[in-house]
A and B are shown apart, each in its own frame.
Chain A
Amino acid sequence: TQLLEQSPQFLSIQEGENLTVYCNSSSVFSSLQWYRQEPGEGPVLLVTVVTGGEVKKLKRLTFQFGDARKDSSLHITAAQPGDTGLYLCAGRSRPGGTSYGKLTFGQGTILTVHP
């Protein structure tokens, strides 16, 4: 069973602060996705990272995939109240084996950004 350890579980910060969320595993993933979920809605894809060492930027959000494709991070610069939500990382398993293509979610990070 592939596991994704996501940390921290809860994050409460003031507007304008920076933060980083981590997603770690002992398993290699073929790709890793980050989702954000707001109350009353389903998760929405933010980014997919595929290549080891890859860095992707989405406005104030920076996503990184580890060189070995076992870990990822999400960094938010100058957080805003609109960034509040549940952030989920999800790894897609590699070819070979019955779990190929299956998406494994981390436990999630609940981010609250106070004005």
Chain B
Amino acid sequence: DTEVTQTPKHLVMGMTNKKSLKCEQHMGHRAMYWYKQKAKKPPELMFVYSYEKLSINESVPSRFSPECPNSSLLNLHLHALQPEDSALYLCASSQPRMARNSPLHFGNGTRLTVT
């Protein structure tokens, strides 16, 4: 079982819907990440939070809005998505990214389908 928990596992939403993806970790990690992954491709970084502050936004469209309520939780709010946004959304955590060898601990992702 992964130590990073993501909910829901699957989500189908229309282009006018508003939904949220949730991620939780209890490893004491102070860096949390959102990645987007298309089939058979590597994960693409979207956002990084370090000590609950947004430190990296990889030019992600504003229809994706991240939130880090506390050191254990990470949310991704979705609004007015496009069909091409359908993908596996992965949450990960690590020691603060400045730690040289810090590996990422991934959740099992939310499979998002936008209709």
Contact = CB atoms under 8 A, between A and B. Distances in A.
Given A40-B108, A42-B4, A42-B107, A31 B40 contact: no
Interface centre among A31, A42, A45, A108, by most chain B C-beta atoms within 10 angstroms, is: A42
Interface in B1-49: 2, 4, 40-43, 45
Interface residues of B, number: 22
Which applies to chain B's interface (DSSP): helix, strand, loop or mixed?
loop
A interface residue count range (under 10 / 10 to 19 / 20 to 34 / 35 or more)? 20 to 34
A103 B92 CA distance: 12
A24 interface: no
Contacts of A106: 42
A50 B100 contact: yes
Interface of A: 30-31, 33, 35, 40-45, 48, 50, 86, 88, 90, 92, 100-103, 105-108, 110
